[in-house]
Each structure stands twice: as C-alpha cells, then as structure tokens.
Amino acid sequence: MYARPTVTRSLQQCLSGNRRLFASTVQHKQAQLPAAFEERVSQALDGMRTAGTFKTERVIATPQRAAIQVQGSSTNVLNFCANNYLGLADHPQVVERASEYLHKWGNGLSSVRFICGTQSIHKDLEDQISQFYGSGRDTILYASCFDANAGVFESLLTENDAIISDALNHASIIDGVRLCKAKRFRYANGDARDLDRQLQKASEAGCPVKMVVTDGVFSMDGVVAPLRDICDVVEKHGAVLLVDDAHATGFVGETGRGTGEYWGVLDRVHLVNSTLGKALGGASGGYTVGNPLLVSLLRNTSRPYLFSNTLAPSVVGAAAAALDLVSNAETRTPLLRQLWANAELFRTRMTDAGFTLAGKDHAIIPVMLGDARVASQMADALLRRGIYVIGFSFPVVPRDRARIRVQLSAAHSTEHVNRAVDAFIEVGRELNVI
C-alpha cells in the first residue's frame, strides 16, 4: 500500500488558482462580426424563414430504430426518414461488434492511414468489402462517402481529361468535380442518349480520359439510374464509369450488391463509391471499391484519405458485422423481404388514397407536394400524430418541387406502415392535398 500523498496549503492554492484561471478563459466573449456581414447573414436566414426553407433539427433521445423518442416528448414516434434501410443501426450483432472493437483496439488512432493509422482491422474491412463485390477488386476506406467523392476526381483526372456527370448527382459529387481541373460536361438525368452526345463532345475536345459519374439511386427521387444503358454508352466511347451507390449498398440487388447487381452490370462498373453510414450499420465511413490500379493511385494522392484521421475501430467493427449479416443469405433474405413488402404496401395504399408519389423500385418514396410551406406543415402535423418525417424544399430539391421523402426500413412492421399511411391520409385531407 502506498501512503496517501499530503496536499500542502501551497499546492491547494495553486490548484485553486488554476481553476480560477480556467474559469476565466471559458468566459471570454465571442468575437464580433463585421456589421455588414452580420446583417447579410441575418437577412439570408430571415429569408429562409419567410420562404419556409429554414431547417431546424429535432433531437432524438433514443437509439436510431423504427420507433424513437424525440426530445421533449414522452411518447415514441415512428421514424420514416432514416437511411436505416435494413434496420441494422441498433442490431445487437452490430452493436456488440462495435463494443468489442472499441475495447480491443481503442477509441481511435490519432493519425492518418499512411503515418500510424492503419490497424489490421482496417485492412480486413477493405478486403471484406472487396470480396463483397467480387474478385479482382481493391478497396480504400474514407471517413465518409462524401470524402470518397471529394477525393476521386482530382486524384485520377488531369486538366486534359473530362468528367461527364448526371444533372441530378449528389452534392458531394458536384463538390468533388469542382475540386478537379478536368473539363466538365453534364447530361440530362438518366438520359443515355444525352450522355452519348456529351461523351462525343468530350472526344471532340480531345480529352484522353473520359469519366462518367452517376448516382446509383437518386436519393431525392427514389429513382434507380439506368446503368445497363449507361454502361453501353460508356463502353462505346471507351470511358470509365464511377457509380455512387450510397442509397443502394446492402439492399438493392438480389444479394444487396447495389445497382450494378440490380441491372446485372456489376462487372462493367470500374469504380463504386459508397457508404457504411446507411444500410450497413448507420454510423459513418465510406469507401471506393474497384480497379486495383486506380485504388492504388487514390491511396497515394487522394487528399481526404491522406489528410483525414482513419476510421475509429468501433465504426470498423460495426461495418464488418453489418457486412456479415448482408453476406449471409439466412440473415439477409428476411430483411430484404420485409423491406420490399413495406415499400410495396406504402406505395400501393398512398397511390390509392390519391397522393402523388415519385420514384420506383426503391425504399425511398417521395410524397410530392410542391409548396415548401405545405411540406413543412404536413411534416409537423404528422409528428403530432406519431409519424416522424421531414419536408424537403429548395435548395435541397428544385423550387416548387417540395416533398416529404418517406424511407422504409426492414425494421418497420406492417402495422407501422399502415399507421403511417393512415396518418398521411388524415393530414392530407386536412391540408387539401388529397
């Protein structure tokens, strides 16, 4: 037994002084903005409030699941706006593996991958993702799919090359394209004929490498990109195809391999960018998987990879467990069966009730309303009836195309879906939507 150290009066005074010093530092006032800038920002925010596009964040007081509790409410509500397509965000095996990795491998690496931030579990997860898609591929992990999109174009293309991007691609693709000096071409959403025209223009401009990029699923519309037609055009022009499959990985396609599998063209797609933060456990993390030569170049030049901390071990463990569940037919099949039954039930009943719906063959089913205020009012009214959804409006979607994007999950029961539709019908009649 060690003797308990004696705290002298002078040490007590020193500690007390340090506490006072710390307390004084945290009371410093925030720096004042320049008046003109402050006024401009205030006017912009006021304009959003007037237009009904100002976004507030509801605070959830439970784990992410089908039935959640919103802070300030004593009752649960049904969540129909999460990307938790397979219900794995709180799956016991996913949570247990995350906890196991946390305790075994620590909270984090405090480093980027190429310095001292690569553990065996990171290489294992990259191998697991590569094998999930099929032989002959390699994978590079990112902090998010946004980072994967931010890093891919600048790393692989030069100012002489061309990017041909779908007009409705995700914001992360748009931002990634902006970081690259390659020539830019844009084709109409899902239009293979226009893609053909834009690729021809890129060829006429003398671009030696032409990269076509598309969302696999357009998440605001619930529309699956026509990859078979796109592949035909890409191959005709000797181009490279990159697909962002964030809203498809794990649940679209017969075995959850995404839109490439859905269309039977997985072996014709050069690169797939996707996420670990939606169907595959719901936490964070993203990746690029595909041609090993391209992945090797990304490891050496992709700035979000080179200058961002590696994935936390708990996130790696959760993603590995989610991939195990998706890769196993015994666990995957009932999840997919429930998810698609839920989507069919919701779409059928809502259509019969007179709502205008967008999308097809996906768990994202947008309820089209047009007016941003109506979308916001409907979302609030549905929350009061125990249905948690969010209204989407400009600038997330085009002006006058406001909607409530409903997202079905395998975690929803048939009763959950019917309760949601019943609430939509009641509110829709009150607001003269139907």
Catalytic residues: 219, 247, 278
- The pair phi, psi for residue 197, each rounded to 5°, is -65, -40
Decide: 222 and 408 in contact? Cβ < 8 Å: no
Residue 285 Cα to chain centre, angstroms: 9
Decide: 112 and 306 in contact? Cβ < 8 Å: yes
Cα–Cα distance, 149 to 159 (Å, whole number): 18
Query: For residue 46, what are the contacts with CB-CB under 8 A and spacing of at least 6?
Result: none
At 70, list the tokens.
């919103």
Query: For residue 156, what are the contacts with CB-CB under 8 A and spacing of at least 6?
Result: 211, 294, 297, 298
Cα–Cα distance, 433 to 265 (Å, whole number): 40
- The pair phi, psi for residue 18, each rounded to 5°, is -65, -40
Closest CA to 190 of 238, 163, 222: 222
- The pair phi, psi for residue 191, each rounded to 5°, is -100, 100
Closest CA to 421 of 324, 355, 322, 375: 355
* Pairing assessment for the beta strands 76-79 and 67-69 based on DSSP bridges: antiparallel
Cα–Cα distance, 180 to 174 (Å, whole number): 10
